[in-house]
Homo-oligomer: A and B are copies of this chain.
Amino acid sequence: MPETNHQIRLAARPVGLPKDSDWEHTEEPLGEPGDGEVLVRVNYLSLDPAMRGWMNEGRSYVPPVGLGDVMRAGGVGTVVASGHGDFAAGDHVVGQTGIQEYALLDGAGLTKVDPSLAPLPVYLGTLGMPGQTAYWGLLDIGRPEAGQTVVVSGAAGAVGGVVGQIARIKGARAVGIAGGEAKCRHVVDELGFDACIDYKAGSVATELRRHCPDGIDVYFDNVGGEILDACLAQLAMRARIPLCGAISQYNSSEGMQGPRNYMSLLVNRASMTGFLVFDYADRYGEAAREMAVWLQEGRLKTFEDVASGGVQAFPDTFLRLFRGENLGKLVLEVAPA
């Protein structure tokens, strides 16, 4: 075992897309777990659009990452040494490891996972936060009924892909929106959506009218911006919009663009509701059990996009999310288990 831990720390608050000089590459000696602590060898790191928001000044739903701090990130890893009775060396765990090779963590924040049931990266995707986000946002906020039409943006991403598949499991039609022909093919052919609109190929508004002739009953919004406006213009009566994110706006240095068509909510007696997956923490088990069954039955497919290069590759790999290059959950391999 090496005695040095490599880390990526936030050196400056990014303006627009994070650039190399916003990051500091550091190394420090490995610590020893104290009472209740666990030393984890990070195997895979979760890269997620929401991390962009954590880099900004000012409190949002979580405090910002402090300047000089190890960049916050979820990860899955292997216990190296444990000072906590629930964990032993060799156990696999998920938790907030941060962008580093080893993490010394409070055992209270860790959850054991079983790599014989699903490969470790799946616990950062469909069986992790993205899957939980899709499940609760769609079923608790969107509440699609059988026969209704669910539209989801970021349909080839970690959350969107699960949203559409659950919509279909519940008897609804699923229409995805994604960027590029390959992604759209993936969404329809591999994830089983009824249709997928390539927002780079033409008018989203026109395609929404074509694929949702009776209107959109649920629009699960991951992107904001013009696509949100196009969906607002095509709502069905009493439509629900779970607000999950706004990736099109996260790197804007000119401030957010608000949805110009929001008065469609009034005309259609529709609602737009924000949610955060953490609020469902005491029901994660419920969702995980149901999704694990769907996975085993082959009704729910999971895709992970595993990038290599270790923690040093984080600054570049993270940008792939905003270039729309990932298919499924983007994870960074630090040390294969």
Contacts and interface: CB of A to CB of B under 8 A. Distances in A.
A260 interface: yes
Interface stretch (A6-14, A32-40, A266-274, A294-302): A266-274
Contacts of A273: 265, 269-272
A116 interface: no
Interface string A275-303: 11001000000000000000000000000
Interface string A228-245: 010000000000000111
A258 interface: yes
B265 A256 contact: no
Contacts of A279: 269
Contacts of A246: 263
A258 B271 contact: no
A255 interface: yes
B258 A265 contact: no
A259 interface: yes
A26 interface: no
B272 A265 contact: yes
Nearest to A256: B260
Interface residues of A toward B: which range?
A: 20 to 34
Nearest to A232: B258
Contacts of A111: none
The 10 tightest CB contacts between A and B, nearest first, are A258-B258, A266-B274, A265-B274, A271-B273, A258-B260, A258-B259, A256-B260, A243-B266, A61-B267, A272-B272
A253 interface: no
17 contacts: A61-B267, A224-B263, A243-B262, A255-B260, A256-B260, A258-B260, A259-B259, A262-B272, A263-B274, A265-B274, A266-B275, A266-B276, A269-B274, A269-B275, A270-B274, A271-B273, A272-B273
A261 interface: yes
Nearest to A265: B274
B270 A262 contact: no
A224 B264 CA distance: 13
A273 to B, nearest CB: 4
A146 to B, nearest CB: 24
Nearest to A250: B263
A258 B269 contact: no
Contacts of A271: 271-274
Given A271-B271, A272-B271, A273-B271, A258 B262 contact: yes
Contact of A259 (B60, B262, B268, B274): B262
Nearest to A221: B266
B261 A256 contact: yes
A261 B249 CA distance: 12
A257 B258 CA distance: 7
Contacts of A60: 267
A238 B259 CA distance: 20
Nearest to A275: B269
A258 B258 CA distance: 4
Given A265-B272, A274-B269, A275-B269, A257 B260 contact: yes
Contacts of A255: 260
